[in-house]
């Protein structure tokens, strides 16, 4: 099934994991009850009849899971990010633009929101990161990172759109809250990335690339190679170092940012020929300083030059994986995966999963979803399922949906 948002389907899965009573979806069985009692018959889901009564459950969450991977949205061109409005409407950015709003479900044609100054280099620039304001129902805000020509010279900027509520099918106002993030104007558009995510502090965190310009990561006046931390209006957070827009510097090309429900924040970053990094989202200098010129033979974290630089929580060594968008996966349906960090990889073409403890210590759990091509972004949806965007897939790009399946 590709229409709709699968809220009923995932409830069936989640209650099966938790041992509670289930609901029907296209005739699926009700899940087992807690403590070994039989579950009641599932209620009818969208397009389906009521599920039959489930057999006795065992109570408690599942531990081991398998993954079911299927197409969710097809016919795309280099999708970059995905997000959801509170009512379940799906938003999707594709690198050439526009912003697609799936008001009536992903099986229906989307409403297209053109932002006509998007610069698509065919390489690493274009329309990129996407975030919905936690208070969308009150303010209608959606944030898009995009390469833009609006200022005369190309830059990367964070655009705040006020969209119609509740479905977001039109833009009522546009406000460019952060401008002047450096853009690489070469045909490759190297390191022009931009990823926004709201943190538990109610601020917008934005990871940026260094635009392959050697001085940017350590230049306090540049927004390249930084983690920005700003208000909804684009003002610096009060406790940012020096009152600047950025919170940390010395980054190369941040592609992934994610926060867990316990407040832990982590980023995923491209290295040069070695050392992609997973980093804690904390203030400080992370030590990338590729000068003179753009010298990619220097360490990702140069402790000789910057003895106080913050070391990576985890790094690839060689070869690199080209770490992309990241998400924490949480929920009882995910069994012993709940709390892991899932990171899409481009060059390595798989989903890499990490265990991250409360102190931010990171251990690789391994490779999954290995047969779907280059993976750009991973994000857990409001239904608890995992969604992954592909990049430059030979048979057409898509959004994949990944469902946890409890193992007996």
Model pLDDT, residue 152: 85
Could you tell me the two tokens for 138? 């009150």
Q: Is the pLDDT of residue 43 over 70?
A: no
Sign of CA dihedral 73, 77, 81, 87: negative
Report the alpha-carbon distance of residue 350 to residue 254 in Å, rounded: 18
Model pLDDT, residue 119: 84
pLDDT confidence band for 37 (50 / 70 / 90): very low
Model pLDDT, residue 3: 33
Are 332 and 338 in contact, with CB atoms under 8 Å apart? Answer: yes
Model pLDDT, residue 49: 35
pLDDT confidence band for 212 (50 / 70 / 90): very high
Sheet order of strands, 204-208 included:
194-198, 204-208, 227-230, 246-249, 284-285
Residue pLDDT, tens place only, 73-112 = 999 999 999 999 999 999 999 999 999 999 999 999 999 9
Could you tell me the two tokens for 222? 């540049």
Region 144-150 average pLDDT: 93
DSSP label of 4: S
Report the alpha-carbon distance of residue 263 to residue 352 in Å, rounded: 21
Could you tell me the two tokens for 384? 């608890």
Q: Is the pLDDT of residue 255 over 60?
A: yes
Are 254 and 247 in contact, with CB atoms under 8 Å apart? Answer: no
Residue pLDDT, tens place only, 118-143 = 887 667 889 999 999 999 999 999 99
């Amino acid at each position: 099934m590709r229409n709709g948002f699968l809220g009923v389907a995932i409830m069936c899965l989640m209650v099966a994991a938790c041992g509670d009573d289930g609901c029907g979806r296209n005739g699926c069985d009700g899940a087992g009850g807690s403590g070994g009692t039989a579950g009641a018959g599932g209620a009818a889901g969208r397009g389906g009849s009521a599920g039959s009564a489930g057999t006795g459950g065992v109570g408690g969450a599942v531990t081991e899971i398998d993954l079911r991977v299927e197409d969710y949205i097809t016919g795309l061109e280099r999708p970059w990010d995905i997000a959801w409005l509170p009512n379940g409407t799906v938003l999707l950015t594709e690198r050439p633009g526009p912003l697609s709003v799936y008001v009536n479900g992903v099986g229906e044609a989307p409403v297209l929101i053109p932002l006509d100054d998007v610069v698509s280099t065919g390489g690493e620039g274009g329309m990129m990161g996407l975030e919905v304001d936690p208070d969308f129902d009150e303010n209608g805000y959606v944030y898009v990172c995009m390469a833009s020509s609006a200022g005369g010279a190309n830059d990367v900027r964070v655009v705040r759109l006020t969209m119609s509520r509740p479905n977001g099918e039109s833009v009522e106002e546009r406000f460019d809250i952060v401008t002047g993030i450096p853009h690489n104007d070469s045909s490759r558009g190297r390191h022009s990335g931009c990823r926004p995510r709201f943190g538990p502090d109610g601020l917008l965190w934005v990871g940026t690339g260094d635009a392959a310009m050697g001085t940017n990561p350590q230049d306090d006046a540049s927004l390249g190679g930084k983690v920005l931390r700003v208000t909804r209006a684009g003002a610096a957070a009060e406790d940012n170092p020096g009152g600047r827009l950025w919170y940390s510097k010395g980054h190369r090309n941040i592609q992934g940012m994610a926060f867990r429900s316990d407040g832990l924040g982590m980023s995923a970053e491209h290295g040069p020929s070695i050392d992609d990094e997973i980093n804690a989202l904390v203030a400080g200098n992370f030590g990338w300083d590729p000068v003179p010129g753009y010298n990619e033979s220097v360490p990702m974290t140069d402790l000789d030059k910057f003895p106080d630089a913050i070391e990576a929580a985890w790094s690839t060594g060689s070869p690199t994986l080209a770490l992309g968008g990241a998400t924490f996966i949480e929920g009882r349906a995910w069994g012993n995966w709940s709390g892991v960090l899932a990171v899409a990889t481009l060059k390595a073409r798989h989903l890499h999963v990490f265990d991250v403890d409360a102190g931010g210590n990171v251990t690789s759990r391994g490779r999954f979803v290995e047969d779907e091509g280059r993976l750009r972004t991973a994000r857990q949806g409001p239904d608890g399922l995992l969604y992954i965007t592909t990049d430059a897939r030979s048979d057409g790009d898509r959004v994949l949906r990944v469902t946890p399946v409890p193992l007996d």
